[in-house]
Structure 1
Amino acid sequence: MDIKEIMEIIPHRYPFLLLDRVESLEDNKIVAIKNVTMNEYFFQGHFPVEPVMPGVLIVEAMAQAGAVALLKRDEFKGKIAYFGGINNAKFRKKVVPGDTLRLEVELTKIRGSAGIGKGIAYVNDKKVCEAELTFMVG
């Protein structure tokens, strides 16, 4: 799935669209990519001397990937997924310009208009972040 297809599913736009492509989407599992470049707006202040992607934006990128997986389901097409919660977030390594962030999210529970997903972010097959994400569809 390319950027145009992603933008047909989720409402995020520059500067807050944190996905570049979806590599796979099967059942309740999605793998998406975010190419991290020095041109990201947040590197102006985080940190000018040592650019590091804010952990909260890594979690947001995972949530956007999860939202794509959720909103591709027939019952949620055309709706918006909102963040309902973040649990057990852990940050293991820095994400810096030049990294390719691979976001893997598995929707583990969907009940009514709510869902829970387990997200893991990797750089070079090394885990950089993981979290449990709660979604609400509106």
Structure 2
Amino acid sequence: MSSEEIIALLPYTGPFLFVDQIEELGDSYIVGSYTFSRESYFYEGHFKGNPVTPGVILTECMAQIGLVSLGISKLAGQDLAALKVAFTSADVEFLQPVMPGEKVTVVSEEAYFRFNKLKCNVKLLNAQDEVCVKGTLAGIFSTK
């Protein structure tokens, strides 16, 4: 399955799509990127005069690339027309802020995938390859 096919199958659209590119894809890992536009709606009030990317948005970016995109690739060969995804858990640690206009890279490695439940170890890096967020994400996939 190609990167373009995976992105097309994601159940998100703008302004809530946080995947620009999938750069690497293996059987048990994925690397993708996203650039946070300075004009994104969530910067307007977070924080006054000093906007930073909200942690929930960073977690969502990690989930879209590191969990859902990897999950879609693992389901290749199945009929994904009725794909549903349920985000089941997140345990993340925020280490550095991500500023408006920054490009981030998400690196995810599968911890396990069984019974259509995927658990991943994910990290979000800035352009200097510094870890901004790291943690474990899990979700369940249904194709029915």
**Same structural fold, with TM-score higher than 0.5 when normalized by the shorter chain:** yes
Q: Distance in 2 between matches of 1:126 and 1:52?
A: 16
Find the counterpart in structure 1 of residue 68 from structure 2: 67
- Tell me the equivalent position of 1:99: 102
CA distance in 2, matches of 1:122, 1:84: 23
CA distance in 1, matches of 2:134, 2:41: 23
CA displacement 1:98-126 (0-9 Å, x = unmatched): 21110111111011021100110000200
Taking a change above 3 Å as real, the CA distance of residues 6 and 52 of structure 1, as seen in their structure-2 partners, is: farther
Contact map agreement 2:119 2:138 (CA 8 A) in 1: yes
Unaligned runs of 5+ in 2: none
Given that 1:10 and 1:80 are in contact with CA atoms closer than 8 Å, whether structure 2 keeps it comes out as no
**Superposed counterparts of 1:1-138, under 5 Å:** 5-65=5-65, 66-73=67-74, 74=76, 78=80, 79-87=83-91, 89-123=92-126, 124-138=128-142
What amino acid does structure 2 have at the position aligned with 1:19?
V
CA RMSD of aligned residues (A): 1.7
User: Could you tell me how far apart the structure 1 residues matched to 2:14 and 2:5 are?
Assistant: 15
Instruction: Work out the percentage of aligned pairs sharing the same amino acid.
Output: 26
Question: How big is each residue's C-alpha offset from its partner over 1:25-44, in whole Å with a ceiling of 9 and x where there is no partner?
Answer: 11111111010121111011
Give me the whole-angstrom Cα distance separating, in 2, the residues matched to 1:10 and 1:37.
20
**Counterpart of 1:95 in structure 2: which amino acid?**
V
Query: TM-score, length-normalised on structure 2?
Result: 0.87
Q: Secondary structure at the match of 2:62?
A: helix
- 5+ long unaligned stretches in structure 1: none
| C-alpha distance in 2 between matches for 1:114 and 1:41 | 32
How far off is 1:80 after superposition?
Answer: 2.6
Compute the TM-score of the two structures, normalised by the length of structure 1.
Answer: 0.90
